[in-house]
């Protein structure tokens, strides 16, 4: 190993050891999740931004596996192995590599193999207090590592999801809009199409069969779809099951027959997503918007306000923080509060740490119900580069 590489490796290891000491001292148990993970768990939960960059392979037994693209999901699997009833408190910390494909082999800010040091907090009764604990601990760890000049970016998917639940929408549209939250261009295009009565996306070649589907008789609709596929010579091998295809087409058939989305509903959603600025001021703007629209966001706004109060009590400086209603990070398992610690003007290289709440994730791979969970990961190579480069 070249001397420079060896020195950098030693510096990275020393930094990681210091971070882990801080986490362990705060009561977080060190764990070492397996690097090789079941592929379906990640493909079903991480979202489009990570799914296409996950290294996958099939072992000799035919099982589809992957190199972990993050460590939150593997920590969740450890929690469920130890607590199958998902009713216990647990706090874990970790330091290790994750893997994501990067076009052209990657670069220093986005390598194919990178290290994460982080914490995961499971089963806390007080959601906002657990969030404040996680964020303050990560901020303390970064400060101890030598980083002090950064911006705190905040988001809240809980507010967004409650907004969608409060407005008058067919459930299939609500589900679709929630799914597209992490892809803003598609989200806004979908809203436009729904208002124009063009709910069917990329389905012009299927309009004839969509008009034939009986939306009140799934079995009959399934027969219609099977006949259409056979007529067009479209095999099901390697594709989605017939039942799933039919369910999706029934959604689109219902769109064809539905009245357009009310423009004022779309405007309300767009106005909410455009809210950004200092965290406290943004909360006040959201409260004003909800009041003017006569929708009840009191529970999620109370949680938002309580969270900011706890942040202040923990010594987290909110004066320079920025809230964005459209911010959700790029992992689709988040369900509530999200954050990112950034160095302005450095782009991807300046995204030092991030995390948030993901209460629904563990149920997706075996928990009997939602599990209250919040965590954060630090990109340790970026942290070391920032500190060495004067980002302190």
Tokens of 181: 């939250």
pLDDT of residue 240: 66
pLDDT at 18 over 60: yes
Query: Dihedral of CA 386/93/49/303: which sign?
Result: negative
**Do 55 and 67 touch, CB atoms closer than 8 A?**
yes
Mean pLDDT of 51-66: 90
CA distance 63 to 51: 18
pLDDT band at 180 (very low <50, low <70, confident <90, very high): very high
pLDDT of residue 202: 46
pLDDT band at 105 (very low <50, low <70, confident <90, very high): low
pLDDT of residue 199: 58
Residues 6 or more apart whose CB falls under 8 angstroms from that of 339 comprise 135, 152, 153, 154, 155, 354, 355, 356, 376
**Low-confidence winner among 108-112, 138-142, 157-161, 325-329 (lowest mean pLDDT):** 108-112
Mean pLDDT of 321-344: 94
Confidence (pTM): 0.86
Mean pLDDT of 146-172: 94
Say what percent of the chain tops pLDDT 90. Answer: 65
pLDDT band at 264 (very low <50, low <70, confident <90, very high): very high
- Name the one residue in this structure whose structure tokens are 């989605």: 240
Name the more confident of 18 and 331: 18
CA distances from 14 to 20, 95, 223 (A): 10, 12, 63
Taking the CA atoms of residue 304, residue 80, residue 29 and residue 138 in that order, the dihedral angle to the nearest 10 degrees is -30
- Three-state secondary structure along 302-323? HHHHHHHHHHHHCCCCCCCCEE
pLDDT at 47 over 80: no
pLDDT of residue 48: 67
- Could you say which DSSP state residue 106 is in? B
pLDDT in tens, 77-93: 999 999 999 999 999 99
Residues 6 or more apart whose CB falls under 8 angstroms from that of 270 comprise 188, 191
pLDDT band at 392 (very low <50, low <70, confident <90, very high): very low
Mean pLDDT of 172-180: 91
pLDDT at 389 over 90: no
Taking the CA atoms of residue 250, residue 255, residue 228 and residue 244 in that order, the dihedral angle to the nearest 10 degrees is -30
- What domains does the chain contain, in order, with CATH numbers? 3-164+270-388 (3.30.930.10), 172-257 (no CATH)
Residues 6 or more apart whose CB falls under 8 angstroms from that of 130 comprise 121, 124, 372, 374
CA distance 126 to 121: 11
**Do 355 and 154 touch, CB atoms closer than 8 A?**
no
pLDDT band at 49 (very low <50, low <70, confident <90, very high): low
Name the more confident of 293 and 4: 293
Provide the edge-to-edge strand list for the sheet that holds 351-357.
Answer: 29-30, 90-99, 113-122, 373-379, 351-357, 337-342, 151-156, 322-324, 276-277
Mean pLDDT of 261-279: 96
* DSSP-derived secondary structure for 11-45: HHHHHHHHHHHHHHHTTPEE----SEEEHHHHHHH
The two beta strands, 322-324 and 113-122, are unpaired
pLDDT of residue 43: 77
pLDDT band at 108 (very low <50, low <70, confident <90, very high): low
pLDDT band at 390 (very low <50, low <70, confident <90, very high): low
Q: What's the distance, CA 216 to chain centroid?
A: 34
Name the more confident of 155 and 51: 155
Residues 6 or more apart whose CB falls under 8 angstroms from that of 129 comprise 310
Say what percent of the chain tops pLDDT 70. Answer: 92
CA distance 340 to 274: 19
CA distance 307 to 112: 35
pLDDT in tens, 197-254: 865 544 556 767 777 887 778 888 888 888 888 877 777 655 567 887 887 787 777 7
Name the more confident of 346 and 271: 271
CA distances from 50 to 23, 43, 155, 187, 358 (A): 27, 8, 20, 18, 16
């Amino acid at each position: 190993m070249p001397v420079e590489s060896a020195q950098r490796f030693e510096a990275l290891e020393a930094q990681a050891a210091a971070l882990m000491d801080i986490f362990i001292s705060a009561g977080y148990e060190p764990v070492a999740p397996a690097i090789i993970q079941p592929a379906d768990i990640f493909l079903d939960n991480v979202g489009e931004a990570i799914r296409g960059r996950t290294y996958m392979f099939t072992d000799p037994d035919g099982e589809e596996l992957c190199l972990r693209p993050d460590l939150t999901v593997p920590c969740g699997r450890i929690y469920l192995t130890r607590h199958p009833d998902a009713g216990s408190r647990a706090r874990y910390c970790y330091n290790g590599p994750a893997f994501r494909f990067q076009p052209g082999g990657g670069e220093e800010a986005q390598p194919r193999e990178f290290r994460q040091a982080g914490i995961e907090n499971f089963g806390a009764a007080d959601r906002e207090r657990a969030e404040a604990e996680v964020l303050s601990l990560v901020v303390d760890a970064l400060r101890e590592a030598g980083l002090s000049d950064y911006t705190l970016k905040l988001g809240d998917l809980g507010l967004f999801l409650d907004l969608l639940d409060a407005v008058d929408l067919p459930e299939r549209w609500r589900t679709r809009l929630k799914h597209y939250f992490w892809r803003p261009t598609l989200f806004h295009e979908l809203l436009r199409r729904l208002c124009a009565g063009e709910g069917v996306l990329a389905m012009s070649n299927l309009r004839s069969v969509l008009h034939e589907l009986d939306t009140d008789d799934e079995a009959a609709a399934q027969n219609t779809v099977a006949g259409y596929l056979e007529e067009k010579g479209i095999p099901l091998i390697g594709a989605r099951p017939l039942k799933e295809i039919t369910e999706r087409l029934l959604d689109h058939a219902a769109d064809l027959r539905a009245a357009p989305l009310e423009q004022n509903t779309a405007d309300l959603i767009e106005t909410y997503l455009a809210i950004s600025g200092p965290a406290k001021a943004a909360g006040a703007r959201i409260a004003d918007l909800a009041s003017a629209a006569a929708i009840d966001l009191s529970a999620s706004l109370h949680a938002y306000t309580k969270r900011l109060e706890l942040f202040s009590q923990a010594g987290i400086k909110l004066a320079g923080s920025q809230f964005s209603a459209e911010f959700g990070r790029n992992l689709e398992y988040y369900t509530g509060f999200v954050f990112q610690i950034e160095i302005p003007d450095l782009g991807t290289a300046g995204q030092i740490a991030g995390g948030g709440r993901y209460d629904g994730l563990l149920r997706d791979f075996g928990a009997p119900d939602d599990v209250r969970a919040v965590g954060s990961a630090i990109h340790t190579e970026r942290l070391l580069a920032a500190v060495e480069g004067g980002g302190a």
